[in-house]
Amino acid sequence: MAAGSRSISSQGRGFLARLRRFFARMSPDSLFARLILIFSGGFFAMLLLTTIYAGESRHFYFMRGLMADRARRMAEVAALLDATSAEIRFVLREQFNSRGFFVSFTSSCPTLTVNDEDLREASVLMEYMLNLSLSRLYGDSRPHHGRMMHAEKRLDDVPRRAMLAVRELNLPSPMESFGQSVCQYFSKSKRTRGPSVYQATAVVPLHDGTWVVIEDSAPGYPPMPYFPFTSIIAIEIFFVAISLLAFYLCVKPLRRLARAADRFGRDIRTPALPETGPSEVREAAQAFNRMQTSIREFLDERERTLAAVSHDLRTPLTRMRLRVEQLDESQRGPLQKDIGELQQIMDTTIDIARSKSENVAMVDVMSLIESLVEDRQDMGMDIRMEDRLQNPDAMFSIRPLAARPLSMKRCLANLMDNALRYGGGVVVDVVDGDDMLSVIISDSGPGIAEAELKKVFEPFYRVERSRNRSTGGTGLGLSIARSMARMHGGDVTLENRPEGGLRATATFSRKQSVK
């Protein structure tokens, strides 16, 4: 038994998990779309429920009005017949008899029974209305209640002169009426009158001992109005339009904050957020601006400290060079190599500090790349431009780019030097697009293990097999190149070429302004 319960419980949890996954796949991704979906769907459901409730109310009030009207007619006919002589009654009877309404007389009280329990309450209710109408016509002074209370409690409120039994009641339920109106709307079929709504028999005593028997039936249920689908859609569209405006105004500050955080992640020199809007939005903007100011001040202080330390180290390094020159040749080489590495690290640090405050200018990309390639070719390095870029038309098709010239030059120089140092046979290609400019630097070296393609961007990280201190380098080249590419709204990615070697791609944004 316990095992069976656990099995049912696990099946229920599995079903709930599948249901959650289904709704997760079907729900929109953005907060704006989710709010619109939830509120518009809820409002549409409310309109449908309101329409059904209106049908319920219509059902109730129609049945109450129908019974009250028919009972009042029966009472008026019985009172008029009671006020006339026996001879005139037969003449009036022929005048009263019409379609669905028949009057007859009997000397004894007939027995009325209601066999269907569903019609018993309707019979008692209509009998109460009939006696109420009779009491008013006969001027009865007994107090009575006109409210629609339980039928059994109403019988004591008025004199019980007449008896009534409902034989048939064809009034459709509210849900049936709703379904019929929906079908009529979409099928555009004509609305026809249905069968008689009800059939009832009433017995009313007259003052001379005669009993008048009235057979009454309503001619038919009035045609249901068409389902108000057009009105519901119009109201729904209006509500969705208002919701679009309201939710757009609510979500807009969040999008603005997200864009500001993204820009700040690329560069700390982004302008402050405007502190406007509702109080909650202003508080969020103020908190973001305070955080941005604090981080900017901290980074500025760190850059100033790095620049000052790097600058102050130049003097002792110069003294060390002079003292090394006085040593023997065997001792001079290793020390000069160590001093050179220290000098390279300081120069890199100073370049990074200076690049943060560099202004943006229009850069002739092809001229910059050509100069970098030619400088290294003059030094005897194996590097060249892609063959298709030898065509002047292809070169002139590369548009200038708004960038920080020194930062962009440092980024591309680091990638070229890295490819030359560890690969050789370097080819430089440029792909210009509407959104991004891509500089592709390919080498024919051994490449990098897939597990280390991301690690090489970490500062001072080296792949021990080939990137050791004997080959030079500080382990900062790729890290600096990626940082400077991201300052321009782009990135640096590495991938191993199928034919062998490594491909480095530096991208620079054209649409996103450089901060």
- SS3 of 167-189: the string is EEECCCCHHHHHHHHHHHHHHCC
3-state secondary structure 404-424: CHHHHHHHHHHHHHHHHHHCC
* Phi, psi angle pair for 198, to nearest 5°: -155, 160
Confidence at 335, pLDDT banded by 50, 70, 90: confident
Q: Nearest to residue 200, comparing CAs of 132, 252, 123?
A: 123
Mean pLDDT of the chain: 78
Backbone angles phi, psi at 65, to 5 degrees: -65, -40
**Strand partners for 217:** 199
Write the pLDDT tens digit of every residue in 97-120: 887 889 998 888 888 888 787 788
Most confident of 62-71, 95-104, 364-373, 479-488: 364-373
Smallest CA-to-CA distance from 220 within 248, 199, 205 is with 199
Kindly list the domain boundaries of the chain, sorted by start residue: 31-227, 236-308, 359-509
Q: Could you tell me how many residues make up the chain?
A: 515
Average pLDDT, stretch 60-77?
84
How far apart CA 273 and CA 255 sit, in angstroms, is 12
Which helix (H) or strand (E) element contains residue 214?
Answer: strand 211-217
The residues near 138 (Cβ < 8 Å, ≥ 6 apart) are 79, 161
Average pLDDT, integer, range 381-394 = 87
Q: Is the pLDDT of residue 464 over 80?
A: no
Element (H or E) spanning 93, and its range? helix 86-96
Q: Is domain 359-509 given the CATH code 3.40.1000.10 in the classification?
A: no
Phi, psi of 384 (to 5 degrees): -155, 165
Cα–Cα distance, 419 to 501 (Å, whole number) = 9
**Hey, how many other C-beta atoms are within 10 angstroms of the C-beta on 19?**
10
Closest C-alpha among 168, 166, 202, 171 to residue 73: 202
Rounded Cα distance, 446 and 500, in Å: 7
Give the pLDDT confidence of 438-455 residue by residue, as tens digits: 999 999 888 888 888 888
Reported as a pLDDT band with limits 50, 70 and 90, residue 514 is very low
pLDDT category of residue 150 using cuts at 50, 70 and 90: very low
pLDDT in tens, 246-299: 878 777 887 888 888 877 776 667 788 888 777 877 888 888 888 888 888 887
